Amino acid sequence: MHVDPKRTIAELKELRALTGDENGAQRIAWSDMWLKAREWFTSKLEGLPVERHYDAAGNHWITLDGESNKALILGSHLDSVPNGGWLDGCLGVMTALETLRGFVRAHNGRPPVTIRLVDWADEEGARFGRSLLGSSAFAGTDTIDSDRGRTDKDGVRLEDALRRCGVEIDRFPEARREQAHAAAYLELHIEQGPVLEGLGLPLGAVLGTKGVERHAVSFHGQEAHSGSTPMAVRRDALAAAAKLALEIRTIAGKHPDAVSTMGSVKTFPGIVTAVVGRCEATLDQRDLDAAILSGMYNEARQASERFAQEERCTVEWSRIWNIEPVPFHPALVDLCEQAVKETAGVVHRLPSGPLHDAAEVARAGIPTVMMFVQSLRGISHNKIEDTKEEHLEMAVQAFGKLAGKTAKWILST
């Protein structure tokens, strides 16, 4: 199947010029700039033998009917964070479009399986703090009642922002209908991390998205005067938190792909002349293996209790959020690995730390895999996000091969 990677890169640059400014991409979901990006995308469909519509959650579906109604879905998202990069999300959408064009050409407009392209609505959750909004509606994992009242920084309710774009949150469940005949889902994305760059590899096959345990951990000791309180009688909440900050790294270090982060520490009263009486920290632990993740969480919790006892403090945990690991489909991971190897000569399998719409699709039981292309310096969600053009070209080529292999796999299963 023939694809034209240079056209994809040219289109990405066109989109950047149309929907970005000197600070980066500004395609925040439900904004005018996002609608403009979707309109521009629609204009690229002209002349293609496809049907298109928005589902009840605002996801944009483009369908090229095939000999079989079993559908191969290719997707990603056009929305961006504020001041975002030029590749996050839209690389996947534009590569899916180029792949769909390839299917049209290769099969005179009627491929052996149905090809569907999806531009998910509000992957980033940048405005309302709820990521994967459209894909969760598709998967039936939406949380309408807790989401409808979310507000943006100007106090606008999520429900009202969606309505302005023609989406009624109460009709979200209808989006599940798009699951009909779905046989596989493929998504290309920049890695957003430093692993492939560190290995000197352009492309990787993604094993799945890591599960996340996200907690607030609060140590309570006793505020005391820094001058008059001997070391031996202190109940220093910061000391207990500092021990935990170091221990979570040891715990994660026992597993090759696990990560563990204390991202925020707050001290109370937080003044130079007082022993810390209360220390509030956050913990974010991730792994692809549910048993490992749950073990890490338990180890950290036990360690925090030990440290609290050592410092004569108490500790309280409160879950902020969690999600189970979502492993991708083994047969599709194999196909992805083949496609990468045929294109780049070498391949690496890696889990994804960040979440993606693909995780929601996989949770709906649809065989899923993602392909990653190297990110320079591992940076994304920033205007300096970048990938070498030669790597982008290889990505479009490899994704086309993966789609071809997956179409055959669908017919064989």
Smallest gap, in angstroms, from Cβ of residue 272 to a copy of itself? Answer: 4
Q: Which is nearer to a copy of itself, 288 or 335 (CB)?
A: 288
Nearer Cβ to a copy of itself (65/257): 257
Check binding of 198 to a copy of itself (CB under 8 A).
yes
Number of amino acids touching a copy of itself (CB under 8 A): 60
Residue 59 interacting with a copy of itself (CB under 8 A): no
Q: Does position 192 bind a copy of itself by CB under 8 A?
A: yes
Site string for a copy of itself, 5-44 (x = CB under 8 A): ----------------------------------------
8 Å CB contact between 1 and 106: yes
Q: Does 83 bind a copy of itself (CB under 8 A)?
A: no
Is the CB of 22 or the CB of 321 nearer to a copy of itself? 321
Residues 240-299 that bind a copy of itself (CB under 8 A): 241-243, 245-246, 249, 252-253, 257-267, 269-276, 279, 282, 284, 286
Question: Among 8-16, 33-41, 143-151, 221-229, which window interacts with a copy of itself (CB under 8 A)?
Answer: 221-229
Q: Is 233 in the site for a copy of itself (CB under 8 A)?
A: yes
Q: Is 194 in the site for a copy of itself (CB under 8 A)?
A: yes
Provide the minimum distance between the beta carbon of 229 and a copy of itself in the complex, in angstroms, as a whole number. Answer: 6
| Contact status: 60 vs a copy of itself (CB under 8 A) | no
Q: Which residues bind a copy of itself (CB under 8 A)?
A: 191-195, 198, 210, 212, 214, 224-231, 233, 236, 238-239, 241-243, 245-246, 249, 252-253, 257-267, 269-276, 279, 282, 284, 286, 320, 352-355, 378, 380-381
